Amino acid sequence: MIQNPEAMAHSVTFAPCENGTVSVDEVVIWQQHDYVVRALAAKTYRAVAHIVNNELDIEASVPCSLLKLKQLTSPDIRGLGVLPNNAVDIVQLAYSIVKENLLHLEGRHKSRPHEDFDVMEFRPAFHGAFGFDDNRSESTYCLEAGHTSKWDSIFGERWDIVVRETYVVTRIVFKREKMKAPVAAIDKLRCKLDLINFSAGLNYRAHVLRRLTDKYRLVTSVHSDPSSADSSSPDSNVVV
Picking from 52-66, 196-210, 218-232, which range would have the lowest pLDDT averaged per residue? 218-232
Non-local (6+) Cβ contacts of 223 within 8 A are 131, 140, 141, 142, 145, 146, 147, 150
Q: Count CB-CB contacts under 10 A for residue 225.
A: 17
Phi, psi of 92 (to 5 degrees): -65, -35
Domain boundaries, the chain: 5-74, 89-216
Whole-angstrom CA distances from 35 to 14, 21, 42, 67, 158 are 17, 15, 19, 10, 22
Q: Count CB-CB contacts under 10 A for residue 9.
A: 17
Picking from 22-36, 133-147, 198-212, which range would have the lowest pLDDT averaged per residue? 198-212
Question: How many CA atoms within 13 Å lie on the side-chain side of 84?
Answer: 20
Q: Each residue of 74-127: pLDDT tens digit?
A: 666 655 556 788 999 999 999 999 999 999 987 666 656 889 999 999 999 999
Instruction: Return the DSSP state at 112.
Output: S
Task: Give the CATH fold of the 5-74 domain.
Answer: SH3 type barrels. (2.30.30)
| 151 three-class SS | helix
Give the best-scoring range by mean pLDDT among 107-116, 156-165, 198-207: 156-165
Listed residue (146, 147, 73) closest to 103, CA to CA = 73
pTM (global) more than 0.75: yes
- Indicate the pairing of strand 187-197 with strand 58-63: unpaired
Q: Where do the DSSP E strands lie in the chain?
A: 10-11, 15-17, 20-22, 27-30, 33-42, 47-53, 58-63, 68-69, 114-121, 138-142, 161-162, 167-178, 187-197
